[in-house]
Amino acid sequence: DAKTTQPTSMDCAEGRAANLPCNHSTISGNEYVYWYRQIHSQGPQYIIHGLKNNETNEMASLIITEDRKSSTLILPHATLRDTAVYYCIVRRTGNQFYFGTGTSLTVIP
């Protein structure tokens, strides 16, 4: 599976949109982009996934560039409860999830 590159940490003001970038320049055509997050002392939680098109659900939006070499997770109105480590993963369905070190997002009041 392709590797991903994410910033180590980011801050976001409460109520503002949090935009978390991810580079996956070696992604192949059948690999999906997944986002999970892990709040301190809990197991990871699924957020969203996509293949080519942008996706939106009740938690977040996923914007994938046309060449699929990068993506951005958008939390539209960040709250203090969104403070967590966010993992961007690319994976072929059926394969294992390989988590990197993720981006530690801190939402500031």
Q: Within 6-65, which residues bind another protein (CB under 8 A)?
A: 32, 34, 38, 41-46, 49
With CB under 8 A, what is the number of residues at the site for another protein? 21
Instruction: List the one residue from 87, 90, 105, 107 that touches another protein (CB under 8 A).
Output: 87
Task: Tell me the sheet residues that pair with 107.
Answer: 12
> How remote is the C-alpha of 72 from its chain's centroid?
7
Closest separation between CB of residue 49 and another protein, Å? 5
- CA angle, corner 73, sides to 37 and 91, nearest 5? 70
CB closer to another protein, 76 vs 100: 100
The footprint of another protein (CB under 8 A) covers 32, 34, 38, 41-46, 49, 85, 87, 93-94, 96-102
